[in-house]
Amino acid sequence: MNLQLSYWLDDDNIICRVDDHWDRAMDSQNWSDRASASKIVGKPLFEFICDDVTRMYVATMIESVRVIPHTSFRPYRCDTPDMKRFMQMIITPEENGWIRVSHVLIRTEPLKKPVTFTTTTPITPLRQLRNNQTINYVRCSICNRLQQYGNWDNSWHEADSFVVLGHASVKPLKVLHSVCSDCLHELR
């Protein structure tokens, strides 16, 4: 089960190279064409991260490996609508100055009930009313737990526990991405 994919970053965090088996692995995992090697090589890594807090989190990990050369290991989740996917990010400095970022699938568990998400951005209340849009939850980009949008009491829950309790509908949940306080604390 230990699927591993790597990409290499230059000093400007441009993706310079991916594993030789990258596209084959993307096809087997049903990723979109947007994740193919031809679409990501030569592009800035942070173009593929949807929010500022997660960008800063990842930038901090990468920069720490550059400043004090060491290999850094960070667990995270990359769930599918019906599976919890427990992953590990391994960030390693290379002799040529590049940084190798590897993603390893450790294990999977089925979700109690499938849940899908759609990413949105913060919107002003007036625009929200005009467009009849609502944001349901904030989703941690690292552990994938959810917090109800506007409920800033620091309670984060597994996505499938919200579905089981009836908080979610059959429609995709609109989420903002961020990093929860537990995951931020682990970065220290």
pLDDT tens digits for range 133-154: 566 788 899 999 988 877 667 7
pLDDT recorded at residue 3: 78
- 132 versus 11: the higher-pLDDT residue is 11
* Single-letter residue type at 81: P
Average pLDDT, the chain: 83
Q: Which domains does the chain have, with CATH numbers?
A: 4-110 (3.30.450.20), 117-185 (no CATH)
Encoding tokens for residue 142? Answer: 């690292």
pLDDT recorded at residue 175: 84
pLDDT tens digits for range 48-85: 888 888 899 999 999 999 999 999 999 999 888 888 99
- 1 versus 17: the higher-pLDDT residue is 17
- Residue 15 pLDDT > 60, yes or no? yes
Output the pTM of the full model.
0.81
Q: Could you tell me the pLDDT band of residue 166, with boundaries at 50, 70 and 90?
A: low
Q: Could you tell me the pLDDT band of residue 27, with boundaries at 50, 70 and 90?
A: low
